Amino acid sequence: MDKNKTDLPPVYRNIVFLTGAGISAPSGLATFRSQNGLWNNHRMEDVATKEAFERCPEQVHAFVNSLKPEFFAARPNTAHLAITKLQQIYPANVSVLTQNIDTLHEQARTKNVYHIHGQINQAKCLQCGHIMETWEDVGTKTVCPACGISGKLKPDVVLFHEPILHEQMIADLLQKADLFIAIGTSGVVYPAAGFAAEAKRNGARTVLLNAEIVTGRNFDEQIIGDAAETLPEFVSRLLLSVKS
Ligand code: NAD
Ligand code: ZN
């Protein structure tokens, strides 16, 4: 028997990624809790909660608008591209649940991406439900292009104390997953922090690729390092197992 073959990972059928701010850090977008993280310059209660939007929508709009130029300019890195490569070559359903509000997975041409915290370049009309896509500033005077009413647009990013998006899809994917890979996520923000445990309960192998170790028993394996290096290597290894 070919010894190398027996060392290869098994072939998976349903691969689910959970990506966090760490996958976009090599593209220059700061994570929230790092030393230069966004929370160091802002009070989260003022700019990123449901209550802040109800109290003072201008302040939340201004915060989101202030992030847009940097997010617009960012480009995908080798980690985003590795997911696309896996999706194009590996014979499994490959889906991505992302906590990121950037559009780097889309720019990398990854399919089946679910933004559980929304997207920075979208705003939702609370009057008619229309989702407007724009990199321009949005504010309390912006007119909804669908219903023509102003003052009803909310940045379509999930604020603290709001429910996440795509809950049914998440439950279905975590039910079916046989390989769950979390990348660049501190495991602090729930409910996403519970996804690995859920996938593991349902029988998936769980792997974390992160810059730092995360405590707890949710992961069968942790690969510590820069995702821009560790993920392409991890994907290459998965692809070896399906090469004939
Ligand atoms: P987080 O900031 O809490 O944690 C990021 C994790 O990534 C940390 O554990 C860190 O060690 C790790 N990390 C940093 N650089 C890395 C690298 N090069 N390679 C691998 N790992 C790296 O972020 P989170 O867990 O995603 O959750 C915070 C929230 O912040 C999310 O809800 C997300 O919506 C939001 N956020 C999004 C963006 C974005 O869209 N790019 C940026 C900042 C924050
Ligand atoms: Zn409208």
99 lines ligand 1 (CB under 6 A): yes
- pLDDT tens figures, 124-139: 999 999 999 999 999 9
Confidence band (pLDDT; 50, 70, 90) for 38? Answer: low
Please enumerate in sequence order all residues whose Cβ is within 8 A of that of 40, keeping only pairs 6 or more positions apart, or say none: none
Is the minimum distance from the CB of 117 to ligand 1 under 6 angstroms? yes
pLDDT of residue 37: 60
* Closest among 216, 162, 212, 178 to 21, alpha carbons compared: 212
Q: Give the pLDDT confidence score for residue 39 in this predicted structure.
A: 59
Atom 30, ligand 1: which residue's CA is nearest? 32
pLDDT digits (tens, 9 = 90+) for 175-196: 999 999 999 998 777 888 899 9
- Clarify whether 117 is annotated catalytic: yes
**Is 40 touching ligand 1 by the criterion CB < 6 Å?**
no
Least confident span in 10-19, 41-50, 54-63:
41-50
pLDDT at 45: 80
Residue 34, token pair as written in the block: 């790092």
